[in-house]
Amino acid sequence: MNVGRVLTVAAALLAFSAPPTLAQDAKDWVDIKDPQELRALYSNNTFKGKDWMDRPWVGHYRSDGQGVILFEGGRYP
């Protein structure tokens, strides 16, 4: 067996043995019903992430309830 195959098999085994890092159970979720509590989480914050196609986005949220998402060169209120 050549070195390339050994490395490929080792990488595949490592990838399949790693636990998923993004999985969350519904039991870990917290239901937020109070608008003030939700506003406190988002007010004057910036969040960054990637969509399902690995495209980056940035969300800016203000305390007055306004916000903007920056995605693929566009601004979406």
Interval 41-66 mean pLDDT: 90
In angstroms, the CA 69 to CA 2 distance is 49
pTM score: 0.53
Mean pLDDT of 39-59: 91
> Poorest-confidence range of 4-8, 32-36, 60-64, 72-76?
4-8
Contacts of 48 (CB under 8 A, 6+ apart): 56, 57, 58, 59
Please, are residues 63 and 39 in contact by the beta-carbon 8 Å criterion? yes
Q: What is the per-residue pLDDT across 16-41, written as a single tens digit (0 to 9) for each?
A: 555 555 556 778 888 888 988 888 88
Angle 8-9-13 (CA atoms, 0-180°, nearest 5)? 120
Categorize the per-residue pLDDT at 58 as very low, low, confident or very high, splitting at 50, 70 and 90.
very high
